């Protein structure tokens, strides 16, 4: 997708960080040595996105550039490099689907087919109802529990067509399923269950280690 296609045509005339986020910006920038404040660009982009209904307007890019003494194009370069930053509006539920090799081998095609069957959208598009946006992304870093679908900030793992449909049902009802493996795997253990330390009893809450 071209940079132009990723940037919203309709833009707000102004953008201003909230008072709470201004305090957070001071805290973030203070982490870096003098003259190195540009290192804070990613956290500031994240703040802007969370404040502005999950997307970053160009006025926010300009403001961040001024705050960090950066060229606007440098801030935009960062914002367009990472798929986690949205430069145009997305739905309430932003579906980021990993389709790289491990997820593909484990059935990400079926996960994607379910989403497309339900909403008739492709990567970079938003459903007609406006509540669901889909983006095909690179590795989400949880390959052992592939295929993975990131919904906003949450990961859902071990998906197939049917479990993806159940997840979408829960999102449509605004009652998302518990995050993690949809088959109930603990961490990254084998699908058949633990293969080592299988007799180790879970730690009792409130009991000190021996």
DSSP string, 89-100: ---SEEEEEE-S
Q: From CA 55, how far away is CA 110, in angstroms rounded?
A: 28
Is the per-residue pLDDT at 117 higher than 80?
Answer: yes
pLDDT over 90 for what percent of the chain? 76
pLDDT value, residue 3: 67
| Residue-level length of the chain | 210
Count CA atoms closer than 13 A to 64's CA, side-chain side.
29
pLDDT value, residue 208: 45
- Reading the block at residue 48, the tokens are 């802007």
Judge contact between 17 and 50, C-beta under 8 A.
no
Of the candidates 105, 115, 166, the residue with the CA atom closest to the CA atom of residue 139: 105
Q: From CA 194, how far away is CA 184, in angstroms rounded?
A: 12
Q: Which domains does the chain have, with CATH numbers?
A: 3-81 (1.10.10.1590), 93-181 (3.40.30.10)
Confidence of residue 210 (pLDDT cuts 50, 70, 90): very low
Residue that has been written with the tokens 């409130």 in this structure: 206
Give the pLDDT mean for 153-180.
96
Give the CA radius of gyration of the chain.
Answer: 20
H-helix or E-strand spanning residue 60? helix 58-68
Is the per-residue pLDDT at 75 higher than 70?
Answer: yes
At residue 170, φ and ψ (nearest 5 deg) are -65, -35
pLDDT value, residue 104: 93
Q: From CA 111, how far away is CA 146, in angstroms rounded?
A: 11
Q: From CA 151, how far away is CA 103, in angstroms rounded?
A: 16
Is the per-residue pLDDT at 207 higher than 60?
Answer: no
3-state secondary structure of 180: strand
Contacts of range 75-79, beta carbons closer than 8 Å, 24 or more positions apart: 75/41, 75/45, 76/3, 78/41, 78/42, 78/45, 79/45
pLDDT value, residue 209: 45
How does pLDDT run across 16-71, given as a tens digit for each residue? 999 999 999 999 999 999 889 999 999 999 999 999 999 999 999 999 999 999 99
């Amino acid at each position: 997708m071209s940079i132009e296609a990723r940037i919203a045509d309709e833009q707000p005339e102004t953008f201003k960080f909230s008072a709470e986020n201004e305090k957070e910006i001071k805290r973030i920038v203070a982490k870096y040595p003098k003259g190195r404040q540009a290192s804070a660009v990613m956290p500031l982009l994240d703040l802007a996105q969370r404040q502005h209904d999950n997307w970053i307007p160009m006025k926010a890019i300009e403001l961040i550039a001024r705050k960090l003494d950066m060229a606007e194009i440098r801030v935009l370069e960062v914002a367009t490099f990472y798929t986690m930053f949205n430069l145009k509006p997305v739905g309430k539920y932003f579906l980021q689907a990993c389709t790289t090799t491990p997820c593909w081998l484990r059935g990400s095609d079926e996960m994607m087919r379910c989403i497309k069957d339900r909403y008739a959208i492709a990567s970079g598009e938003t459903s007609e109802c406006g509540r669901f946006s889909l983006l095909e992304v690179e590795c989400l870093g949880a390959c052992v529990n592939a295929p993975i679908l990131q919904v906003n900030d949450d990961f859902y793992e071990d998906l197939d067509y049917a479990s993806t449909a159940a997840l979408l049902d829960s999102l449509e009802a605004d009652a998302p399923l518990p995050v993690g493996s949809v088959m109930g795997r603990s961490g990254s253990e084998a699908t058949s269950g633990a293969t080592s330390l299988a007799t180790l009893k879970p730690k009792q809450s409130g009991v000190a280690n021996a």
